[in-house]
Structure 1
Amino acid sequence: MMCIVSFAWKAHPKWQLVAIGNRDELHARPAESAHRWEDSDHLLAGRDSRAGGTWLGISEQGRFAVVTNLYGFGTPRPDRASRGDLLKDFLSGKGKYADIAAADYADFNPFNLITVTQGEARVHTNRPDKITKPLDHGVHGLSNGSIHQPWAKSPHLNEMLGQWIAKQSDDPVMLLDGLLDRNSYESRDPSSPVIQSDPEPENSAIFMCDPIYGTRCSTVVAIDHDGNGIFIERRFAPSGSAIGQTRLSFAWPTPG
């Protein structure tokens, strides 16, 4: 799962969508880097080698999705469906969860989710209740906290993306450096609970450098108003050093 995402929707003069974020995970968990999937060649995403799903992806049929864990609701149940399958089915357009509006969110452990389809961006969550609602034009953030009470680091990443937009910068590659922030940000609500069993504390950094559980990759996705898109993934070793980068080009359908 991704652990922090900032998402700009129709807020930039060139780019209709800009999404940036970090995926934090056990370094020992195997995963494929971002690529065009052979079984759905319109789908671009990384892939979890164990469960088969993804944490962030693009379909050239005009869909986007990114999911984060949601902490604070107990230990995840291993018998539930993989949240990566929700994205895989939605993005590929086939499978039990292809119709995101009809998906039973009770099948999954807690999550936050942003989707784009048919020209509309929406945010979804399944704890404490199922919520799905449209996103206005602007910058929005997801973390491992509630969509109503995001973790303290989330506004800082949103601010960085907002400043990039305000400068009308047109090179999204520059945003990768902002995802390297290792500062810890204290919760604005001192009474906010931190579940000590969770691998990522609430006051963690945007970039987590840890030899066991840390930032595995940084991702930037940008799609311009003509539907031309880029997908950039930078990968990291347990030491925090960069070990590879992938850049993919794609195209969304243009409005008829």
Structure 2
Amino acid sequence: MCLILFAYQVHPVYKLIVAANRDEFYQRPTLPAQYWEDQPEILAGRDLEKMGTWMGVTKTGRFAALTNYRNPKEITDGKRSRGELVANALAFEGHVSDYMQTLVENKHQYPGYNILSGDINELFYYSNVGGELRKLEPGIYGVSNHFLDTDWPKVNKGKEGLAEIVLGDEERLGSGLVEKLLVLLQNAEPAPDEFLPHTGVSLEMERMLSPLFIRSEQYGTRSSTVMFMSDDEIQYVERVFSRNGVKDGEFRIKM
């Protein structure tokens, strides 16, 4: 998952609204969002290479999502798969803060990451690179492949778009929010060179990775996910894509 935009306790009905893109190599085998056969309380996509996930929710309202921290010089040999962090967060039976504390204690076991986990009442953020475990206040946030709310073009554009959509929902019924958020997530306009971050990859790669929605032959946005969570309902919509951003299916689930 390379971009997570979310509005936490901002909308009067939907206390958690998430709009996220997962970017990955097209050749990596993946299952779309569904209830897991081995853990039927979990609704999520699944990475079939490591059997973890990048984002999901449970029937009881536990949410978790993750992005990688981009550092091409990082040595990852011998480290565990980051996808298990989200799966474990969703399966954890205790309080979410206790789970997040275990991540702090074991931060060196995984390559660099950002993780969100919680529900409509408490939401936590942690990066094993930044090192600070935060309980989030109400607000509109964005995280890509650096830290939470880093001043990257795609994060700023995403947060501005999310705020306009969520705060402009005057009827307070969520009408049309899903489609508006999916349109936002499919914005493929690259950032101007002068605003590109410098993360240790080539300029050409920075350009390719700069839009909210990434298209290329080998790597790109594999799925766009929108989730709404209120006191008594969860809506989960996932749109999946194949090479060069061609739509390949859509899944809509309510619980």
TM-score, length of structure 1 as denominator length: 0.88
Letter aligned with residue 178 of structure 2: V
Q: Percent identity?
A: 29
Q: 1:187 to 1:99 in 2, by over 3 A?
A: farther
Q: Is the 8 A contact 1:36 1:42 kept in 2?
A: yes
SS of the residue 2:238 aligns to:
strand
Cα drift, residue 151 of structure 1: 2.2
Q: Which has the higher helix share?
A: 2
Cα drift, residue 92 of structure 1: 1.3
1:201 partnered with 2:200: no
Size of the alignment, in residue pairs? 245
Cα drift, residue 163 of structure 1: 0.5
Report 1:42-191 matches (<5 A).
Answer: 42-72=41-71, 74-93=73-92, 99-103=99-103, 104-117=106-119, 119-127=121-129, 129-147=130-148, 149-168=150-169, 170-171=174-175, 172-174=177-179, 175-186=181-192
Cα RMSD over matched residues? 2.4
SS of the residue 1:185 aligns to:
coil
Using the TM superposition, name which of 47-56 and 167-176 deviates more: 167-176
Q: Is the 8 A contact 2:141 2:148 kept in 1?
A: no
Letter aligned with residue 138 of structure 1: G
Q: Is the 8 A contact 1:152 1:188 kept in 2?
A: no
SS of the residue 1:41 aligns to:
coil
Q: Is the 8 A contact 1:151 1:187 kept in 2?
A: no
SS of the residue 1:221 aligns to:
strand
SS of the residue 1:22 aligns to:
strand
Structure 1 unaligned residues grouped into runs of 5+: 251-256
- Tell me the equivalent position of 1:210: 216
Cα drift, residue 77 of structure 1: 0.5
- Tell me the equivalent position of 2:26: 27
Q: Is the 8 A contact 1:10 1:138 kept in 2?
A: yes
Cα drift, residue 173 of structure 1: 1.6
CA distance in 1, matches of 2:203, 2:109: 21
- Tell me the equivalent position of 1:254: none
Cα drift, residue 149 of structure 1: 2.7
Per-residue CA distance 1:69-99 (angstroms, 9 max, x = gap): 11136235131111111111110126xx982
Cα drift, residue 124 of structure 1: 0.7
TM-score, length of structure 2 as denominator length: 0.88
- Tell me the equivalent position of 2:234: 229
Per-residue CA distance 1:46-91 (angstroms, 9 max, x = gap): 0000000000010123311110011136235131111111111110
Report 1:239-254 matches (<5 A).
Answer: 239-250=244-255
